[in-house]
Chains A and B, each alone.
Chain A
């Protein structure tokens, strides 16, 4: 049986892959940062662009846009499979855990299938209601390459 942390990451993936984005948002803390850097080894998100750099407010808006009937790039929603591997506990401080993992993601939309690969870091916080995501960083292996539009969540 997978442990608590694995179960939590699988839950996050499952919510994304079944398009339950609102429930997925509930896994994030109010002060959460969701970050997909543009550059390899990018150090900060304010002086350098990011593929996605959302606080909780923007993340909410992102999900709301995806639900809009005229979100041309998003409707119909892409179907995805998030495959998570190499999960390791990097650090544990008070009530925060840093988890590293790898992500292989298959995306299908408009007769086109794409494969993504990424190194992922979660910072999870233990709250009374359970584990929550305070920070997620997704370093795509091809973030600096020429990419077709991205309208999914990693």
Chain B
């Protein structure tokens, strides 16, 4: 074990990572046990389980779980695996259930996972059945309505785990008038033949859009001018985003990228609302701002709208955009196979146009057939193919290395907005989790 830990430590060096971290199935198995089996994982949002009995199925790493609202008001997370002979008791999807009944021999479980009726009960040893039930995931906690769980019964609490990265969730929620958000509008589920870490290493990478997204930048430049009075299109928001991807290098270098402890991180001043999101002059955005002022006052509304936290990564399974209200959860399936669920959030008290923007943005930028995401997926697959080769060992993550700037609360800033500081930080978190007794 000690030998293995020393070997692991050799794989991650200050400015380079060994390719096996992305390509070795043995390491992947260890990641599932030590990272996805230990860390807090985001599972969803409380609006998905609004009423008692509401449930949805998802995964924690590769464990199938059910997230369900108990009649006592708490959110429970149950391993979706029958205590009898192991079938998943709940079909994949979502719904409302009084109890979960296994399709194989009809054992039924309440919303807390407690075993109830068992057909042919007399055939079992008395007392034995009372020990059985659906396994409850040991720790479940909410932050600002977001549901997290950990497969480990010990470790830092959720707020400590999130640390300064809480600010990004605050931003997402505070931007909603009255703080009211709901998940709605469909879920994109896109898969790729590549390692789960590629997504997390991509979303804060300011040096990639000019190359990976060159084609969508080019067509967006040729698109009708977004927001031209009388000629507004429902997809203007997406055109603005694609154009912004083609911003000059100096803009990318100036935006700022921060990391916070445990591998989280975010991009800074990439979009301000007037530059991009809906255009400060747009009637929908004005109406939205009025609503926000109505709910929290002018001063607070101004403060909220001045926050510019762009893509945020919550290590190891989440990426989100608070200004566009889009959140992605990554599920590793194998060392070279991952699937990402993309959720849209509606601000319940905002004008409908704000959510239409979110939907259009999702379709054109983050969707499975979008102009932007598809090119990222292609590159992830190219990475996997390249890193499967044993001819070269190391992956270089040295952009900005040596220039990282330490700030308060364990926050660290890249010397430029295109620094790879966030990958170095993710790899440090990776090593911490992978240690035998993290």
Spell out A's residues near B (CB within 8 Å). 36, 38-39, 42, 46-53, 55, 57-58, 61-62, 64-65, 68, 70-74, 110, 144-151
Chain B residues with CB under 8 Å of A151's CB are 369, 374
Classify the secondary structure of A's interface with B: loop
- Given contact pairs A146-B191, A147-B190, A49 touches B367 in the complex (Cβ within 8 A): yes
A80 to B56, CA, bound (A): 36
Interface-side segment among B134-142, B277-285, B303-311, B354-362? B354-362
- Given contact pairs A71-B215, A73-B377, A149-B368, A50 touches B363 in the complex (Cβ within 8 A): yes
Q: Which 4 A-B pairs have the closest CB atoms?
A: A68-B215, A150-B369, A71-B215, A73-B374
Chain B residues with CB under 8 Å of A58's CB are 235, 364
Chain B residues with CB under 8 Å of A61's CB are 219-220, 222-223, 371
| Other-chain contact of B356, A42, A47, A65 (Cβ < 8 Å) | A47
Question: Counting CB contacts under 8 A, is B188 at the interface?
Answer: yes
Residue of B nearest to A63 (CB): B219
Q: Which of B221-275 contact A (CB under 8 A)?
A: 222-224, 233-235
Are A68 and B185 in touch, CB under 8 angstroms?
A: no
A110 to B382, CA, bound (A): 11
Are A148 and B235 in touch, CB under 8 angstroms?
A: no
| Other-chain contact of B188, A49, A55, A68, A71 (Cβ < 8 Å) | A49
Spell out B's residues near A (CB within 8 Å). 184-186, 188-193, 211-212, 214-216, 218-220, 222-224, 233-235, 339, 344, 352, 355-356, 359-360, 362-364, 367-369, 371, 373-375, 377-379, 381-382
A61 to B242, CA, bound (A): 12
A65 to B223, CA, bound (A): 11
Chain A residues with CB under 8 Å of B362's CB are 49
Beyond A46-B356, A57-B233, A64-B219, 8 extra complex contacts between A and B, CB < 8 Å: A36-B369, A47-B359, A49-B359, A51-B363, A65-B218, A71-B375, A147-B190, A148-B193
Are A150 and B374 in touch, CB under 8 angstroms?
A: yes
Chain A residues with CB under 8 Å of B339's CB are 146
Are A52 and B363 in touch, CB under 8 angstroms?
A: yes
| Other-chain contact of A46, B189, B234, B364, B378 (Cβ < 8 Å) | B234
Residue of A nearest to B379 (CB): A72
Chain A residues with CB under 8 Å of B373's CB are 149
Residue of B nearest to A58 (CB): B235
Residue of B nearest to A145 (CB): B189
Are B192 and A148 in touch, CB under 8 angstroms?
A: yes
- Smallest distance from the beta carbon of B291 to chain A beta carbons, Å? 18
From A65, A68, A74, name the one whose CB has the most chain B CB atoms within 10 angstroms: A65
Chain B residues with CB under 8 Å of A64's CB are 218-219, 222
Are A68 and B363 in touch, CB under 8 angstroms?
A: no
Are A149 and B374 in touch, CB under 8 angstroms?
A: yes
Residue of B nearest to A61 (CB): B219
Are A147 and B368 in touch, CB under 8 angstroms?
A: yes
Chain A residues with CB under 8 Å of B222's CB are 61, 64
Residue of A nearest to B371 (CB): A65
| Other-chain contact of A146, B190, B216, B360 (Cβ < 8 Å) | B190
Are A38 and B186 in touch, CB under 8 angstroms?
A: yes
A48 to B188, CA, bound (A): 11
- Smallest distance from the beta carbon of A112 to chain B beta carbons, Å? 9
A52 to B188, CA, bound (A): 12
Chain B residues with CB under 8 Å of A48's CB are 184-186, 359
- Given contact pairs A47-B185, A49-B344, A149 touches B371 in the complex (Cβ within 8 A): no
Residue of A nearest to B333 (CB): A146
Are B359 and A73 in touch, CB under 8 angstroms?
A: no
Chain A residues with CB under 8 Å of B186's CB are 38-39, 42, 48-50
